[in-house]
Every structure is written in structure tokens, then in C-alpha cells.
């Protein structure tokens, strides 16, 4: 049975440290990254699937098996800045334009993910009622802590959220916004949580991808919790 293995590439911790300190002089460091560095950081939260693990969706019915492969990009603060910097370099924008791209992206929602789904076998169609959740690492279904994502197709018009990688047209692309704090400003991912999971459900099957909580994402959570 075909299945998927999650693969992730991490950038140097210094990139996270630059964003997480909150110091204005450091948060501007992304404006000095060259294109190669921006592309590397911009792809640092991408997880892809390939044959070999349990991240696999299968629905057996009418003698057909449907396998959905999933790729996800988490737009952490450093990934947003990397995408803005890449856009700046490629399109000869000035520094103020790049800052505006960052501000626009961060105003879109607490946490944005780009989710790409490839219905590799069967009908070739992604069902409209697929579901997606953000949850703490090690989450047990039926307990508290998971939050549903809001599908946000309008984000396809925002350049930062197109990411830095070349589009793979085998995949349908979706954008989802997740809250990082609840209505009382309490973090969804508190200090006791070291990782988070993306759970994607298609029909009656589910699969998840896990990331560590980077320093920059932790800093964003704290900032959102402290906001008026």
C-alpha cells in the first residue's frame, strides 16, 4: 500500500533568533538575505510526502482506492519574511515594499498554512468537505486543544502566501488560517507544548504532519496573547 513519509529541512537557528528577539534592528535582517538564503528559509517549514510512512489517505469503495498526498507550508514569521525578501529581489522592489508585504501577510491571520493536495489515484478530485485542524503535538482525539482551520481562498492573491517554491501543478492548492489564541487571549499552543500537528481529514481517513514550535512562532503566540 502506498504511503507517505514527512520530510522537513531546517534552517540555521540564527534565522529564528533574528525574528524572535523582537528588536527592530534584528527583525530587519531579512532585508539583507540573498535570494538563495531567502529561498532556503522560505522552504524550511515545507513538509512533503512520499511512499514509505503512515501519512496516507485511502478510501476503499466500488473497487477503487483513493490516495491523497499532502504537502504543507507553515508561514511562520521567518518564512513570511523570506517570501517577502524573495519577492523583493525577483521583482526589484524597494525595502518599503518588502516591509509592506510582511505587514500585509501578518495581518491576514494568526497562522497561515498553504496546503497542497494531490489526489494521486482514482477520481483525481479533492472533495469539498475535506477538513483541517491545528492541534498540540501528541494530541488525543476527543480531548480539548484542537482548533479548526478556516479555508481562505482569497489568500491566493497575496504574493507572500504563494511561497518561494515553484508550483507543482499535480497538486491543488488551498490556504487555511488558524487561530493561535482563543477568544480570551489564551494560547492554543501553550508553553508546555513543544510541537504542533496539522491534521487533514478526507472522507473517513485522517493523516497528520508535525512541526516543532520555532522561537519565532513562540514569540508570535506571546505577542498575540499580550495584545489588547
Q: How close are the terminal C-alpha atoms of the chain, in Å?
A: 51
In a domain, residue 4? The reply is no
Q: Cell 489515484 belongs to which residue?
A: 121
**Choice between 70 and 204, residue whose per-residue pLDDT is larger:** 70
pLDDT in tens, 128-174: 899 999 999 999 989 999 999 999 999 999 999 999 988 888 899 99
Closest CA to 6 of 67, 65, 69, 57: 69
Residue 73 · residue 46 · CB < 8 Å: yes
Cell numbers representing residue 217 in the block: 512562532
- Please tell me the least confidently modeled range out of 50-64, 113-127, 196-210: 50-64
**Which residues constitute the domain of residue 32?**
13-226
Q: Considering its fold, how many domains does the chain have in total?
A: 1
pTM, two decimals, is: 0.83
Instruction: Identify whether the C-beta of residue 79 lies closer than 8 Å to the C-beta of residue 138.
Output: no
In a domain, 8, yes or no: no
With CA atoms as reference, report the closest residue to 11 among 34, 55, 48, 45: 45
Domain assignment present for residue 7? The answer is no
Asked if residue 115 is part of any domain, the answer here is yes
114 within a domain of the structure (yes/no) = yes
Q: What pLDDT, on a 0 to 100 scale, did the predictor assign at position 52? A: 25
5 in a domain, yes or no?
A: no
The β-bridge partners of 35 are none
Amino acid at each position: 500500500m502506498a504511503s507517505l513519509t514527512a520530510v522537513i529541512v531546517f534552517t540555521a537557528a540564527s534565522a529564528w533568533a533574528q525574528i524572535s528577539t523582537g528588536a527592530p534592528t534584528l527583525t530587519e535582517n531579512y532585508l539583507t538575505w540573498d535570494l538563495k538564503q531567502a529561498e532556503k528559509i522560505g522552504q524550511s517549514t515545507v513538509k512533503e510526502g512520499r511512499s514509505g510512512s503512515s501519512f496516507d489517505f485511502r478510501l476503499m469503495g466500488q473497487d477503487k482506492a483513493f490516495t491523497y498526498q499532502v504537502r504543507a507550508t507553515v508561514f511562520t514569521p521567518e518564512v513570511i519574511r523570506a517570501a517577502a525578501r524573495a519577492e523583493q529581489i525577483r521583482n526589484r522592489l524597494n525595502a518599503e515594499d518588502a516591509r509592506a508585504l510582511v505587514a500585509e501577510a501578518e495581518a491576514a491571520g494568526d497562522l497561515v498554512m498553504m496546503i497542497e493536495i494531490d489526489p494521486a489515484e482514482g477520481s483525481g478530485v479533492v472533495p469539498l468537505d475535506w477538513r483541517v485542524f491545528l492541534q498540540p503535538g501528541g494530541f488525543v482525539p476527543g480531548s480539548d486543544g484542537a482548533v479548526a482551520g478556516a479555508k481562505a481562498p482569497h489568500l491566493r492573491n497575496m504574493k507572500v502566501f504563494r511561497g518561494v517554491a515553484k508550483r507543482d501543478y499535480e497538486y491543488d492548492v488551498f490556504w487555511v488560517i488558524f487561530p493561535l489564541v482563543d477568544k480570551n487571549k489564551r494560547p492554543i499552543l501553550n508553553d508546555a507544548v513543544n510541537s504542533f500537528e496539522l491534521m487533514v481529514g478526507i472522507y473517513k481517513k485522517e493523516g497528520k504532519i508535525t512541526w516543532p514550535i520555532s522561537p519565532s512562532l513562540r514569540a508570535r503566540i506571546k505577542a498575540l496573547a499580550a495584545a489588547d
